[in-house]
Amino acid sequence: MKKKKMIDVFSEARFGMFIHFGLYSIPAGIWKGKEQGRNRYAEWIKYQANWPDGGAISDAEYNELAAEFNPVKFDADQWVWEAKNAGMKYIIITTKHHDGFALWDSKVSDYNVVKMTPFKRDIIRELKNACDKYGIILGAYYSHWLDWEHEFGAEPHWPEIPEDPTLEIVSNEKYEIYFQEKCIPQVTELLDDYGIRLFWFDSWQASPLLTESRLEELINLVHSRGGILNSRIGTTWNHHKKDEELVDFLSMLDNVFPDSKIAPPWETSGTFNDSWGYHALDFSWKDSNDLLKKLISNASNNGNYQLNIGPHADGSIPAPSIRRLREVGAWLAVNGESIYNTTCADLPIVEWGKLTMSKDGTIFAHVFENNPKLSLVLRGINKMPKKVEILETSQQVAFDYVNKCLILTMPKESIQTELNVIKIEF
């Protein structure tokens, strides 16, 4: 069988796992007994531990975390199994987040898990092997713009608290040294030594450092090996010519779920709670139905959902994430047909749920509301359906077809079940 192109696999994937894991997983949002302030993204603790009093954690103090990093419960097989079981098709992990610390045995910089920690194991290598075993694509989040370890990487600077930070205090010439000395060679390693072909670069505002020539160099590098990459490399925000032609898929800003259709391929990356990296005081876990609604909503608009986990410093996945991943997986195990290989249904929107459509024209109506008297109306239907049933139970759904309107009456037994899918075949 001909191997599918990476972009086609990604466009159809619909559900993926994002993982934020690194030195910041150790303090987990608490520094010297005090909860980190500002946006509570635990992976930002180096710059937010002391907010609003100013002052980052010094490099020396932050780097001491490396001597403590020993995720003995890290089990690549289990991480990938959880993703697979949840119905996810790919995993994107922070190979290097803004702190500059690499989760692989980088020859470019010793600031990495193998050279600096008692753990000494190559997390990316182990994950790649497990992903290959389970048929999951491994992708790399790589912080190309901010790098707080390299002398000349961009970093935040709070001149006047609580003003927003200037995200770079380095000159263009110096930044070029970082870019050529660390960013380009590390991305090359991930491509050539680890076989990674899916890249998620991270920027979210215009930056004079992310010049057209730098971005093109990085884009060309990834493309030269047949890899694909996302819009947050910076092109869209810099309004460069040909912006969207240069990148392979769009990434929304954090937790942004569009309410109308967008041309594929695109994805939303979202948190399980508030933080990306594990935060010990973040208990606002979204429930499984909320997560499923986000997945369904993006699928109904042609997009993927990339749900993040923030493993504990010991490498285990937090219990609330495990439970929800398995619940979402259980729903997908019986309703997956309404999500995978579907697109936007191109029908008038319905206020009671979301619609997807398979390649053969079958419509899947996802019912977000439950109400004993529920009668559901779908407009713009061109022909009389042959069969209408609840996907999970195969229970028949009564319907009337009048003036291009399909009026469905939910069977009374089914209305107690949340997130039913009605399959409408023609």
Q: Binding marks (x or -) toward ligand FHN, 226..265, rule CB under 6 A?
A: ----------------------------x-----------
* Candidates 6-14, 37-45, 59-67, 185-193; binding stretch for ligand FHN (CB under 6 A): 37-45
Q: Binding marks (x or -) toward ligand FHN, 197..216, rule CB under 6 A?
A: -----x-x------------
Reduced to 3 states (helix: H, G, I; strand: E, B; else coil), residue 308 is strand
Q: Cβ of residue 87: shortest distance to ligand FHN, in angstroms?
A: 21
Where on the phi/psi map is residue 403: left (φ > 0), alpha (ψ -120 to 50), or beta?
left
Q: Cβ of residue 42: shortest distance to ligand FHN, in angstroms?
A: 9
Q: Cβ of residue 6: shortest distance to ligand FHN, in angstroms?
A: 21
Q: What are the structure tokens assigned to 34, written together?
A: 């005090």
Q: Cβ of residue 147: shortest distance to ligand FHN, in angstroms?
A: 12
Q: Cβ of residue 396: shortest distance to ligand FHN, in angstroms?
A: 44
CA–CA separation, 158 and 91 (whole Å): 33
Q: What are the structure tokens assigned to 129, written together?
A: 């092997």
332, 15 contact by CB (below 8 A): yes
Which one of residues 51, 276, 364, 399 is an interface residue with ligand FHN (CB under 6 A)? 276
* CB-nearer residue toward ligand FHN: 270 or 315: 270
Count of residues touching ligand FHN (by CB under 6 A): 8
Strands (DSSP E) contained in 190-238 are 198-201, 228-229
Q: Is 266 in the site for ligand FHN (CB under 6 A)?
A: no
Q: Is 274 in the site for ligand FHN (CB under 6 A)?
A: no
Q: What are the structure tokens assigned to 149, written together?
A: 């370890």
Q: Is 41 in the site for ligand FHN (CB under 6 A)?
A: yes
Q: Cβ of residue 217: shortest distance to ligand FHN, in angstroms?
A: 22
18, 5 contact by CB (below 8 A): no
Q: Cβ of residue 114: shortest distance to ligand FHN, in angstroms?
A: 23
Q: Cβ of residue 10: shortest distance to ligand FHN, in angstroms?
A: 17
| H or E element that contains 366 | strand 363-367
Packing angle, helices 288-300 and 319-335, rounded to 10: 50
CA–CA separation, 303 and 301 (whole Å): 6
Q: Which of residues 335-364 bind ligand FHN (CB under 6 A)?
A: none
Q: What are the structure tokens assigned to 300, written together?
A: 């109904």
Which one of residues 27, 43, 86, 331 is an interface residue with ligand FHN (CB under 6 A)? 43
DSSP state of 118: S
Strands (DSSP E) contained in 204-310 are 228-229, 250-251, 266-270, 304-309
140, 199 contact by CB (below 8 A): yes
CA–CA separation, 96 and 140 (whole Å): 8
Q: Is 269 in the site for ligand FHN (CB under 6 A)?
A: yes
* Candidates 38-46, 110-118, 166-174, 278-286; binding stretch for ligand FHN (CB under 6 A): 38-46
Contact residues toward ligand FHN (CB under 6 A) are 41, 43-44, 202, 204, 254, 269, 276
